[in-house]
Amino acid sequence: MAARRVVSLVPSITEALAATRPEALVGATDWCTHPAGLAVTRVRGTKNPNLDVIRALEPDVVVANKEENRELDVRRLRESGVTVWVSDIETVPAAFEAYDELFDQVLRWPRPDWLDVARALWSGALPPIRARVAVPIWRDPWMVVGARTFTGDLLRRLGFENVYGDADGRYPKAEAGEIDRSGADVILLPDEPYVFTADDGPEAFTTPTRLVSGRLITWYGPSMIEAHHRLSG
């Protein structure tokens, strides 16, 4: 039977579900900002969801992610009889495989058109490298996108090489001076999870910087269509 009540603890998947079958989405986190005006019950944050509120929504399934959500919360929900599906996404192909599983086996919904469009855009051989980049995701302390991340894989498929792609860890700490000397041609400053702005971030570097939408380089879902259109040129 197709799922009729779904709670999402993952902002990018929330956007995907809302674009596919909005009437079935009954709960989402406070960080689920897309689509704008999403009118569902909020279940607090990705790292501290209100489990009582989730249970009260009587979901057919709760959607979670290994990186974004705590194993403790997943376990407690499952122990109380709630079905929880957990994704583990480190590459663009893995995102498509996860959605195939989610729609085909978990939700039992037809695959949406946006998924086919996104898959077609991101298929094909890797393009030549056009720039080397570093991607800070936090400051005080400074942290960057490292190895085995969806963001790093997506950027490589856009022609950007992550200078920290072989780092020890997925989000290693690195001083601003070290990032500046990393050999990057440009430092990409996203607006999430840390909100870098024109007045907060670029001043720390002599290397050229570029403010980018965090949603376009970290979210997997319908945003991947927009990301390809806006960042591939």
Quote the pLDDT of residue 32: 97
Cα distances from 61 to residues 25, 103, 193, 207, in angstroms, run 10, 12, 26, 46
Domains in the chain, start-ordered, CATH in brackets? Answer: 6-121 (3.40.50.1980), 131-231 (3.40.50.1980)
8 A C-beta contact, residue 129 and residue 160: yes
Helix (H) or strand (E) holding 109: none
Q: What is the DSSP letter of 55?
A: H
Per-residue pLDDT, 3? 97
For strands 131-134 and 160-162, give the pairing: parallel
pLDDT at 120: 97
Q: What is the pLDDT of residue 124?
A: 86
Report the chain (233 residues): mean pLDDT per 10 consecutive residues.
Answer: 97 98 98 96 98 98 97 98 98 98 98 98 94 98 97 98 96 98 98 97 98 97 96 83
pLDDT digits (tens, 9 = 90+) for 114-167: 999 999 999 989 999 999 999 999 999 999 999 999 999 999 999 999 999 999
- Predicted confidence at residue 213, as pLDDT, reads 97
Q: How many CA atoms lie within 13 A of 55 on its CB side?
A: 12
Kindly report whether the peptide bond that precedes residue 193 is cis, defined as omega within 30 degrees of 0: yes
